[in-house]
Copies of this chain bind each other. A is one copy, B any other.
Amino acid sequence: MALMTPEQFEASLKELKPRVFMNGQRVPDILANKNTRTVVEANKASYAWALDPRYKDIMTCFSPLVNEVVNRYTHVSASNEDLVKKAEAGTFTAEMLGTCIYRCVGYDAFHALASTTWEMDRDLGTAYHPRFLEYLKMVQKKDLSAAGALTEPRGSRNKKIVDWPDPYLALKIVEKNDKGIVVRGAKINISGAYASHELVVLPQNAHSEAEADYAVAFATPTDAPGITYICQYSPYSAERDLSDDPEELGNPVFGQRETAMVIFDDVFVPWERVFHCGEYKYSGEMVARFARTHRMTCGGTCKVGFMNQIIGASKLIQEFKGLDRVSHINEQIMEMVVLRETGRACGLAAARLGQEEPPGSGVFLPDEVMGNVSKLNICQAFWRVMALAGDIGGGLVVTMPSMKELKNPEVKGFVEEFYSFGSDEPTENIMKVHKLLQHWTAGQHGVGTWHGAGPPMTQRIALQRAINLEHEKDLVRNTLNLKKKEKQAEGK
């Protein structure tokens, strides 16, 4: 069987030696560092679920490519039903982790590559598609985790890419030889790559002829020579570094979303891992296909799962306080449910209305309009859910003392009394739920959700392109029995 155990996954990561920096220092071992460890744990969970009878239907599927059951996160959707399952998996992983499953960007990148390599081969006679399928078979058989990378640092928006003086602001091919290519540049805001086996790289943008060297897509081991990771470091990172015990923290095991800047300092990629190389006319479509896929993921699936954690925590606090029947709180929780279900509906619609793209390719992608609609809705909804949960959680969500006070004999009694609300629930539980709400409402999730899969303006641009209103105009013409333009007919 293709599936690794979680232990095998952890062992496999130990073989890799990525060059990682965080908080001004080298991270010698990502399995040991408290913050990078959260990424390892999240990916590791996806291996456990694939073998768990309760979850294997959602986390695995049969791959005709290798004639075996594989982890769903390595499978390119071949039907609307696959897309629906993909959506359900996105919600499941998010609600179990309370953070990113760091394999989703790679999963979505596989879709963009499968579709666009097929198209390039059809149009240009290239042989990228079989090459990509060979690569994907390897990923499936070895049951590898793949991260994905798209966003680049970029320079002045007032200049063209080729005129940016600094060398790393955009990723490009700096050398081609008979064995492969050498790339230089960087990707930013990359979720959890250092704890994956593979990094799948797409272009950031559509490209013009002058930018042909930037039209590049490939896969690389995450510890390939020349790759450096500079990790984010937030107040939540500091809090974890200072903690005595993960259970002091809002999301003990899996933490907040961890990202890194990834620098490619002349990284060699052999040809069998290169899937796009100079065919600049196809870069835009490749990115757009990734975007529509990833917007369904971010808009209609994982945030639904996150909201489940927030709703659950809000409900528990309501109950701890003995406020089960207070109607304005029930209304607030109901509003969260409405926002969640609206997100879920849009995600499912994106999957159900998805199409084979391009026709004949065998690759199914979510519906463009619905994918973008789901992301636009969830951006607004998530801030609103944060506000509502913050209301229910109360000021204590942000004025909490350290959980360490529960071990401080001088104040322990007071803290236990004040957080008990007169209930018989262990105070530690109550404080932990407040800490979880702090994690959701007073941290990186508002801004992070907003920008994941691109800020709203990118969805608006995609929608402007996708919207066609001829049908709607015809309805009006018909309802009103509008005349033909006679003036025009008269040659005016």
Which residue, of A151, A253, A322, A482, has the highest number of chain B Cβ atoms within 10 A? A482
Nearest 8 pairs of A and B residues by beta carbon? A24-B404, A156-B422, A312-B472, A155-B422, A235-B235, A345-B349, A390-B447, A233-B402
C-alpha spacing A151/B56, complex, angstroms: 48
A67 within 8 A of B: no
Within 8 A of B (CB), among A462-488: 463-464, 467, 469, 471-476, 478-483, 485-488
On whether the beta carbons of A475 and B391 are closer than 8 Å, the reply is no
C-alpha spacing A234/B393, complex, angstroms: 15
C-alpha spacing A263/B330, complex, angstroms: 32
Query: Which residues of chain B come closer than 8 Å to A433, judged between CB atoms?
Result: 476, 480, 482
Map CB proximity to B onto A419-442 as digits: 1 under 8 Å, 0 otherwise. Answer: 011111110110011011010011
A106 within 8 A of B: no
* Stretch of A206-214, A287-295, A355-363, A451-459 lying at the B interface: A451-459
On whether the beta carbons of A393 and B239 are closer than 8 Å, the reply is no
C-alpha spacing A349/B349, complex, angstroms: 7
On whether the beta carbons of B233 and A400 are closer than 8 Å, the reply is yes
On whether the beta carbons of B345 and A401 are closer than 8 Å, the reply is no
On whether the beta carbons of A407 and B456 are closer than 8 Å, the reply is no
Q: With contacts A447-B441, A476-B433, A476-B436 known, is A405 near B24, CB below 8 A?
A: yes
Query: Which residues of chain B come closer than 8 Å to A450, judged between CB atoms?
Result: 387, 390-391
Distance between A71 CB and nearest chain B CB, rounded to angstroms: 22
CB nearest neighbor in B for A158: B322
CB nearest neighbor in B for A232: B399
C-alpha spacing A479/B135, complex, angstroms: 35
Within 8 A of B (CB), among A16-38: 21-26
Within 8 A of B (CB), among A212-260: 228, 230-239, 241-242, 247, 251-254, 259
Distance between A434 CB and nearest chain B CB, rounded to angstroms: 10
Known: A151-B395, A247-B481, A345-B374. 6 other contacts (CB 8 A): A155-B422, A157-B321, A167-B417, A235-B238, A315-B473, A344-B349
On whether the beta carbons of B308 and A471 are closer than 8 Å, the reply is yes
A51 within 8 A of B: no
Query: Which residues of chain B come closer than 8 Å to A232, judged between CB atoms?
Result: 398-401
Query: Which residues of chain B come closer than 8 Å to A261, judged between CB atoms?
Result: 401, 414-415, 418
Which residue, of A401, A408, A425, has the highest number of chain B Cβ atoms within 10 A? A401
Query: Which residues of chain B come closer than 8 Å to A344, judged between CB atoms?
Result: 349
C-alpha spacing A38/B244, complex, angstroms: 25
- Identify which of B165, B390, B429, B483 contacts A446 (C-beta below 8 A): B390
Which residue, of A374, A450, A476, has the highest number of chain B Cβ atoms within 10 A? A476
Distance between A296 CB and nearest chain B CB, rounded to angstroms: 11
A180 within 8 A of B: no
On whether the beta carbons of B98 and A479 are closer than 8 Å, the reply is yes
Map CB proximity to B onto A320-360 as digits: 1 under 8 Å, 0 otherwise. Answer: 01110011101101100110011011101110110000000
Q: With contacts A238-B241, A341-B370, A383-B386 known, is A414 near B186, CB below 8 A?
A: yes
Distance between A414 CB and nearest chain B CB, rounded to angstroms: 5
Query: Which residues of chain B come closer than 8 Å to A473, judged between CB atoms?
Result: 312, 315-316
CB nearest neighbor in B for A447: B390
A397 within 8 A of B: yes
19 A-B contact pairs sorted by A residue (CB < 8 Å)? A23-B401, A24-B404, A156-B421, A157-B326, A186-B418, A188-B396, A228-B414, A235-B238, A251-B479, A252-B479, A252-B480, A253-B479, A254-B479, A261-B401, A387-B446, A394-B451, A433-B482, A442-B442, A442-B444
